[in-house]
Structure 1
Amino acid sequence: MGETKQTNDKNMTAWKHEINKKILVMPMAVEDFLERYVPSRANPPPAQVAASGPLPNVPVGQPELGMYGPLCAVLKELVKGFPNDKRLCFANNAHKPIKFPYGKYEQDHHATKPDVIASLPGKTFTGKDPGRWRNISLIFEAKSTESGDPMRYHSNANEETLVQLSKSARNILFAQSRLFTFGIGIYGAMARIYRFDHAGAVCSQAFEYSAANGAVLRDFLWRFVNPISDGCDIVGADPTVRLATSDERMTVEKQLLAGGIMHDNETSKACRWITVKGSENKKSKRYLLYELVFVNPRLFSRATTVWKALEVDENGWPTNLSRDAENRPHGVQVIIKDSWRQLARKPEPEYYKQIYGHIASQLSQPDLVKEASEEDIKGAVMKAWGKTWPGLAEYLIGDDLGANDLEVDEEERTGQQTCSGEHLARGLHRLFERSHTRMVSKSIGTPLSAFQRTKEMIQALRDAIFGHRTAFEAGIMHRDISEGNILIANGRGFLHDLDYAFNWMAHLLDLGYEHTVESWREYVRTTKGIPRKGGDDLQMTARSDPVGEPSSPRRSVNGGDDRKAAPPTPIINRNGEKEYFIDAIVAEGIVEGVKKYLVRWTGCGNEENTWAFPEDLRRCIALVNWLKRPAAERTQLSEPYLSESGSSAERDAAASGSPDDMKAPLDEAKRMECKERTGTLYFMSVEVLEGGGNIIHDVRHDLESFFWLLMWLVLRHTDYVHREGSSALQSLFDQPSDAACAERKKGWLMSPAVTVQNNAPLSQLINQFKRLCKLNMFDEDTPSNFIPLTYDSVLKVFDDALERDDWPSNDKAIPFKPLPDPNQLHRARPEGVILSSQTISGL
């Protein structure tokens, strides 16, 4: 099944769009490329590593299959002098297909056919399956002539060569949780080295790989197996991750059983240990990942993976064991989400902190004393929600590994932040560069598509809508309703993944408006919120991480309280403490003999900037953005604030007028933030699809997305009845453009509703929900017919359906099986072939 997709034209078209203008040749010598993009602690290869004689000849200009064997011989010669534990083994793969790394997704993603593959250092392919991506460290794609170089000569065949290389790189990244990976292109007698991360790819200038007995390629391979971090086997490996080896399989199986988890063949593909640093005052925690729940397979994207994991000790054994009602062992099981966040976006844990802070602020202070235990706080928060099930994932700890990477010297960084994005659009690196983030939540769930009863599926959607409401009331708009973002746990559902959320409260504050639901509704209606006192002159700034109260009083430089700007509005955290937001770091220097950073606070002018210690700003995004500036630039920007010369008036002037690029006025990107189009094409509302990025994303748009998600599940996993029969799924979702998709959805809302066989409650819900969505479409010709979707109206149709007692009892999800013909495949299931213009959530 996966192999037939290799020839799927739509799949190839999608990949070409995926990599278009994302792979760039670096204008530097190959030696400089290796120094910059293959970081290694090792010295150049020692003399004994050099080949003793001429390299074997690789035929040029002949059929490619004849190149693979001789190329393996060349590579073997180049590593012959490497220490045994560093030596790579090379195999002629001869176009044999290698399936997607995880079995449950094999039917969704095609197999790839690399020409030559390399083992992990010190390993061989003897006794191992060379066709498993977790055993492969490096791939080679060979073309018999220089005209096959896709970076120099453009043709359809060369584009497909680049796609093949990119697919293999994607598979290595996902199979082994790598930070970045490499591929080698051989084009006749020339070669290029490619480095892929989740923002893009860079490649070297073409070089003659056999020159000087293969010196350049040997230097690359030597660097490749001698990474900076002692805990890594190759350059690009994540030092916080270690894959379980085949020799450890028996031990891992025992460890999982000790935690109450059964082991199967798929588990061995997933098993890996990871370390999460956690918060300031907590020790690092170690987890054993054992099941992949969800994966976003796009190469240049968030690349989100969601795992089930078991908390373990340093030796890999489960901690805090308990016993269930049948006396079976039960370890601490969690969900771990790995993703690559755009630097322009706020870390997801901060949204969860704001939600908890909002709930805590609703409580009376006696309910939230600082001495209260975690359980007391959680109980109080649950009480404030007024529900026994919150509908949101319960966040435990999180780690912004990219931000941590910036805290060490550049030569010590392991690649937790991408480095290719800065070359895609100079000056806009924050829109392209990505930071590796990891989040642990207590909520364990199964995919929405694995429901045991249709009533369970509806209950899960209902819970997620309630969770969406909870987040919105805390100031957070989700904006990415999709199948992978809702999970089922014990018959209930919860919403997770706030990566693409929008802080509407912060947005209104930045614009000088009241940050209330009423003000937001007015802003959506008129693009102007309810002004707050002093809002006309409020400095419009971007928000960053919350920190504790400022160390100095917030008074004007004249000592009075007469400034026109309103004071910043704090967030009350779950411990009842005030937290303020940082707009930016504007300077750094030695102040009173100690290294400090000058903080500009959101909602305040530069006259109220305060100096802060580095430890108080740890993981602050404003600090991350500051540290990404070159050292010379930071020094230049800091000089006005550090100058000891001149009068006090001159120093005050320097403090109130920062350099041009650090001024606070809101730029166009900030003003358009509320109109950013996010989400997946299939589930976007009609108005968002038609708006072209000019629609303020509101609650009603996300509520409509829940309807399209419901249709997706019904048409894929139930025994439905519709006038278009088995082609209904393709007809509704598989459209070539935004406009076509919007028109089809409008037509769907106007046509008779789909019904589900022998399931009156679900059929009733679909019909009533469809009617609400139809009224949710604004028509300038009939504005009086417009009735926006609300939480109350949508939750009512779900509650009415769930209250019925005639739900089927044995109607679990029907497994979805795509048609085998690749040219007909999309008629059974939309392939997810979404062009860059059709989705933003892949960015």
Structure 2
Amino acid sequence: MRPYILYRLLDVNSRLFSRATTAWLTIEDTRIPGPDGRLIDDPEQSKDFKPKPRIMKEAWRQVVRTPEEAFYKRLSDKIPENERFGLPKLVCGGDLGQLDVLEWERSNVNASIMTAEDRATRLPSHPLPAASSKGKAKASQPQGPIYPQHYPQHQTFSWAIGDVKTRTFRERSHMRLVIDDVGRPLTKAKNTKELVRALRDATIGHKLAFEKAGVLHRDMSVGNILIVDEAEDESFAGFIHDFDYSAMTDVAPGDEPELADSVGADGLESMGVVLTFKDDERKERTGTYYFMAVEILRSRVVHGVHHDLESLYWVLVWIVLRHTVHNLSVTQAQGVFVFGIDRQSAGMKVEWVSSQVDEFEIPGNEPLTKLLRDMALLVIKSIGTKTSKPEPLTHDAVIQLFDEALASPGWPEIDFVPCQWLDKSHASVPGVMHDPGAAPKAPRASKKTGDGAPRSDAEKMPPPSEIPTSYKARLRSKGPRSATVAASAAPSGPKPSSSSSSRKRKAEEPAEPVASGSGRAASSAPSGSKPSSSSSSRKRKAEEPAEPVASGSGRSRSSKRSKGSSRSENVD
């Protein structure tokens, strides 16, 4: 265990049902305990020492998935430090849930709720303890200090406690990782050339991970590629990270491979041998929806390298449409990416690469315009047609296009613009579901965006400044009312028909406050009489107490709707 100080929140997944991922800027706490027990600076440390900023990632992974640190360990073991390019380095960290379960299992009788199969899912890399039998700990022989809680705190046990062992795969485990490389999002690029260079370097990293370590990322997206904050001349400018949904071969390339005559669909060719992935592991559809390859949207297929490379292209298109000045309207640009309808989403992507990109122009940026068209041709060949066999994308072909574009003259120094489609809280967060409760409500006549509506609908909403955010409650009641009701209700005259008439009446109302304290409602009419004009209504309002009304209160529980009213009142 190593202590770290978190000092800036970089990102957080705010969705309720998720991995609850958070990313922080952090520095290692290098202080040591002093004579009085307080932390002091290490006297052996240089006075010029400056802690290096790093990234700490915290998340709750599904226990059925391979822990992310396993992928980083494979990358570190198989890729020498001097060859590492476009890939982050794990400094420390691991799965707190597994450590917690091991400690709990050694000392707690409640560990008997874990079956052998349940335990193998929660702790796939740890053998059974000596004091257990078929995954059940013996209550009479605790193997360590008494665990302070009934159940682990860093791994969920909801399904085990509920005696539904078949749902163990739904349990989650708490992990923390510290990554050496610090970067910024692609949407914060200084210019499009820096963006393209970062994508090129990330592609090289993707190639190294697959060919040298047998790791396939499977979630190439805007959020999983970063630009190095302070890139050196010979270092990489961008890198891929977040290997949560990755897959890796049973054995690493070069480690006891199985000989084979040919390369299978699920294999990796390396020096004449075939390395296989786990059964059906890559048939699960993973990734960020907007950037999924066309073939994955159309059918259930084995996820391959060419799908990740196609996702890289859609990442480039996504950012260019949002952060450059081009010849497409906002409606046309938004239409390239469709959320939630697989057939339509795939169709719009095919439409882009087959015809729309040929009409696309970025004035003053010929290298980027040409790159988008050249890569579109590779994507078309990779998708294939009824008359042509698919030619899957390759690392070398994609990297060559990136290199040619970067070597071309004509890149503008300043051509990156902020996205104007949405407010900044959503401008660069793909896949976020629109929450109508968090946004200003549209007028009653406008089309509502229902719960869970995709972000593509949110993008088509008018800017927040154009949406009314508050409406006054208009209550209709009859007969004597208490002082409380009078203080919280609006005049009982005819309902206003327009905002202009409402402002006119408000201007005619007396401005001076009236002291409250009357036991009888100030707005109740005298016995035997009934108000019949707007002037009498204004008179009653002037006599009402001017006490403040609680926010959000449309009417008190004792008030009634007027006879014949067909619907409830509008409230703020």
TM-score by length of 1: 0.41
Equivalent-residue separation in structure 1 for 2:40 and 2:333 (angstroms): 46
Instruction: Answer yes or no: is the 8 Å Cα contact 2:199–2:312 preserved in 1.
Output: yes
Q: Deviations over 1:92-125 (max 9, x none)?
A: xxxxxxxxxxxxxxxxxxxxxxxxxxxxxxxxxx
* Residue 488 (1) aligns with residue 227 (2): yes
Work out which of the residue numbers 440, 450, 469 in structure 1 matches 2:188: 450
Is residue 387 of structure 2 the alignment partner of residue 782 of structure 1? yes
- Answering whether residue 244 of structure 2 is matched by residue 499 of structure 1, we say yes
Q: Structure 2: how far apart are the matches of 1:707 and 1:290?
A: 34
> Equivalent residue of 1:805, what SS?
coil
Instruction: Report whether the alignment pairs 1:472 with 2:214.
Output: no
Q: How many Å separate the matches in 2 of 1:318 and 1:775?
A: 60
1:445 Cα offset (Å): 0.9
Q: Sort the Cα spacing of 1:526 and 1:441 in 2 relative to 1 into closer, same or farther, 3 A.
A: closer
Aligned mates of 1:507, 1:737 — CA distance in 2: 37
2:371 aligned partner:
765
Partner in structure 2 of residue 338 of structure 1: 58
What letter is aligned with 2:52?
V
Equivalent pair of 1:449/1:813 in contact (CA under 8 Å) = no
Match of 1:395 among 74, 90, 100: 90
Q: Identify if the C-alpha distance between structure 1 residues 509 and 458 changes in structure 2 by more than 3 Å, giving closer, same or farther.
A: closer
Distance 1:469 1:526 in 2: 12
Q: Is the 8 A contact 1:321 1:332 kept in 2?
A: no
Q: CA shift at 1:435, angstroms?
A: 0.6
What is the rounded CA distance, in whole Å, between the counterparts of 2:160 and 2:460 in structure 1? 33
- CA displacement at 1:317 relative to structure 2: 8.1
What does residue range 526-605 of structure 1 map to in structure 2 within 5 Å? none
3-state SS in 2 of match to 1:733: coil
The alignment partner of 2:264 has SS state of helix
CA contact (8 A) 2:298 2:346 kept: yes
Counterpart CA distance in 1 for 2:370 and 2:394 is 19
Q: 2:290, 2:339 within 8 Å by CA — same for their partners in 1?
A: no
Aligned position for 2:198 = 460
Distance (Å, rounded) in 1 between the aligned partners of 2:347 and 2:407: 34
The CA deviation at 1:346 is: 1.4
1:741–1:316 CA distance, 2 compared to 1 (3 A): farther
Indicate the RMSD between aligned Cα atoms, in angstroms: 3.5
Query: Cα distance, 1:487 vs. partner?
Result: 1.0
Decide whether the 8 Å contact of 2:289 with 2:339 is kept in 1.
no
Partner of 1:700: 306
Equivalent in the alignment of 1:514: 258
Q: Which residue of 2 aligns with 1:629?
A: none
Deviation (angstroms), 1:421: 4.9
SS in 2 for 1:331: coil
What one-letter code is carried by the residue in structure 1 that aligns with 2:68? E
Please give the alpha-carbon distance, in whole angstroms, between the structure 1 residues aligned to 2:361 and 2:353: 14
**Mapped partners of 2:200, 2:40: distance in 1:** 37
Q: 1:523 aligns with which of 265, 284, 306?
A: 265
Relative distance call for 1:767 and 1:394 in structure 2 (3 A) is: same
Q: Which amino acid aligns with 1:443?
A: D
Change (3 A) 1:407 1:524: closer
On the 8 A contact 1:726/1:828 being kept in 2, the answer is: no
**In the alignment, does 2:47 pair up with 1:302?**
no
Work out the CA distance in 1 between the residues paired with 2:4 and 2:268. 49
Structure 1 residue ranges without an equivalent (≥5): 1-276, 278-284, 324-328, 361-380, 543-669, 832-843
Partner of 2:294: 686
- Cα distance between partner residues in 2 of 1:769 and 1:502: 26
Q: Does 1:755 align with 2:472?
A: no
Which position in structure 2 is the counterpart of 1:272? none
- Equivalent residues in 2 for 1:801-816 (5 A)? 801-816=405-420
Q: Does 1:311 align with 2:28?
A: yes
Shift of 1:431: 2.0
Counterpart residue type for residue 242 of structure 2: D
Partner of 1:798: 402
Q: C-alpha separation between the residues in 2 aligned to 1:716 and 1:699?
A: 26
Query: How many angstroms does 1:349 deviate by?
Result: 1.4
Residue-by-residue CA offset, 1:685-707 (whole Å, 9 max, x unaligned): 00111113xx1111000000001
**Percent sequence identity over aligned pairs:** 36
Q: Is the 8 A contact 2:159 2:165 kept in 1?
A: no
Tell me how far apart the structure 2 counterparts of residues 318 and 390 of structure 1 sit (CA, whole Å). 35
1:356 positional shift: 2.1
Q: Distance in 2 between matches of 1:782 and 1:317?
A: 72
- Sort the Cα spacing of 1:317 and 1:687 in 2 relative to 1 into closer, same or farther, 3 A: farther
Aligned residue in 2 for 1:433: 171
Offset of 1:461 from its aligned partner?
A: 0.8
What amino acid does structure 1 have at the position aligned with 2:97? Answer: G
CA distance in 2, matches of 1:717, 1:424: 50
Q: Give the conservation status (yes or no) of the 8 Å contact 1:487–1:494.
A: yes
Secondary structure, aligned partner of 2:157:
coil
Residue 405 (1) aligns with residue 150 (2): no
Give deviations 1:501-559, integer Å, cap 9, x for gaps. 1013449999x98389x96x5324999xx998xx9xxxx9x9xxxxxxxxxxxxxxxxx
Q: Which has the higher helix share?
A: 1
Pick the structure with more strand per residue: 1
Distance in 1 between residues matched to 2:344 and 2:39, nearest whole Å: 52
1:270-419 matches, within 5 Å, as 277=1, 285-313=2-30, 330-360=50-80, 381-382=81-82, 385=83, 390-409=85-104, 410=108, 411-412=148-149, 413=151, 415-419=153-157
Distance 2:66 2:404 in 1: 37
Deviation at 1:422, TM superposition (A): 4.9
Alpha-carbon displacement from aligned partner over 1:695-735 (angstroms, at most 9, x marks no partner): 1111000000001111111122221223xx10134312233
Among 709, 712, 718, the residue aligned to 2:318: 712
Secondary structure (helix, strand or coil) at the match of 2:243 reads: coil
Partner AA of 2:91 in structure 1: L
Distance 1:772 1:418, change over 3 A: same
Q: Take 1:813 and 1:291, find their aligned partners in 2: how far apart are those partners?
A: 25
Task: State the SS of the aligned residue for 2:265.
Answer: helix
Q: For 1:289 and 1:830, locate their aligned partners in 2 and report how far apart those are by CA, in whole Å.
A: 37
Contact 1:729 1:827 in 2 (8 A): no
1:322 to partner: Cα distance: 7.5
Is this contact kept in 1: 2:364–2:410, CA < 8 A?
A: no
Q: Structure 1, residues 578-609: CA drift from partner, whole Å, max 9, x if none?
A: xxxxxxxxxxxxxxxxxxxxxxxxxxxxxxxx
> CA, structure 1 residues 531+291, in 2 after alignment: closer, same or farther (shift >3 Å)?
closer
| 1:321 Cα deviation from its structure 2 partner | 7.1
Query: Following the alignment from structure 2 to structure 1, what is the Cα–Cα distance between the partners of residues 67 and 355?
Result: 42
What letter matches 2:258 in structure 1?
Answer: E
1:351 CA displacement: 1.2
Deviation at 1:804, TM superposition (A): 1.8
SS in structure 2 at match of 1:755? coil
Is contact 1:341–1:347 with CA below 8 Å preserved after alignment?
yes
Contact 2:361/2:369 (8 A) holds in 1: yes
1:523 aligned partner, one-letter code: A
Given that residues 476 and 504 in structure 1 are in contact (C-alpha distance below 8 angstroms), is that contact kept between their aligned partners in structure 2?
Answer: yes
- The one-letter code matched in structure 1 to 2:402 is F
The alignment partner of 2:175 has SS state of: strand
Give the CA deviation at 1:359. 2.6
Q: What's the secondary structure of 1:671's corresponding residue? A: coil
Cα offset for 1:296? 2.5
